[in-house]
A = this chain, B = another copy of it.
Amino acid sequence: MSSTPRKEQIIETAARLFSQRGYHATSMRDLARELDLKGASLYSHISGKEEILWLILERAARQFLDAIEPIAASDMPPLEKLRAAIRSHVRVVTGDLAAATVYFHEWKALQGERRAQFLEWRRRYEHLLQGIVEEGMAAGVLDPHADPKFATLLILSVVNWLYQWYRPEGPLSPDEIAERFTALILDGLGARVGEETADAAYQTA
């Protein structure tokens, strides 16, 4: 029925298996069986097991970066940038939950150059997000006295952990989840007109 090229089927199926059992716990024969092939037949489409992992991780990393780069470079107001960045992150995670799970769990199985490339992409992503956070602080949308590194880590905590609990059949759509995340972050890290409220919360704590 499907005209999806074999290589695509291999990558998709591998993403599912790697996300369920982990990269090292999935054998090439497991993967082949899922595609009604013999193990050796996989090697006419891909060069080896690590290449499959790499193709999954490379795509995921590009999706994250392709989404945030135009947002970071745009002239939207800082608040809208932050909202758009959170929404696009949530869309990437929820759009391919298996790939996102592999992205967060299995990159350590990469060796040498690929591992370095992956980590560089991840660093670039986090740096772009931190830039948006800093713009928000400079514009007074986020608390200018907060630590931008810590604030970025908190945003990443919330949007990254999503892969652990998101289920497509759940009650909230991806955009609704992103909306709630944004509201929480604006509230928790936001600058207030009356600064007393924020100060009071810190002191009560």
Contact = CB atoms under 8 A, between A and B. Distances in A.
A116 interface: no
Interface in A62-107: 79, 83, 105
B154 A108 contact: no
A55 interface: no
A156 B168 CA distance: 20
A145 interface: no
Interface in A147-176: 150, 153-154, 156-158, 160-162, 164-165, 172
A140 interface: no
Q: Is the interface of A mostly helix, strand, loop or mixed?
A: helix
Q: Select the residue from A153, A179, A186, A188 with max chain B CB neighbours within 10 A.
A: A188
A41 interface: no
Given A197-B197, A198-B187, A21 B182 contact: no
Contacts of A138: none
A76 to B, nearest CB: 14
B188 A205 contact: no
Contacts of A105: 105
A155 to B, nearest CB: 10
A118 to B, nearest CB: 15
Contact of A179 (B108, B162, B205): B205
A180 interface: yes
Nearest to A200: B193
A47 interface: no
A43 interface: no
A160 to B, nearest CB: 6
Contacts of A165: 153
A154 B83 CA distance: 17
Given A187-B187, A187-B198, A197-B192, A182 B157 contact: no
Interface of A: 20-22, 24-25, 79, 83, 105, 108-109, 150, 153-154, 156-158, 160-162, 164-165, 172, 179-180, 182-190, 192-194, 197-198, 201-202, 204-205
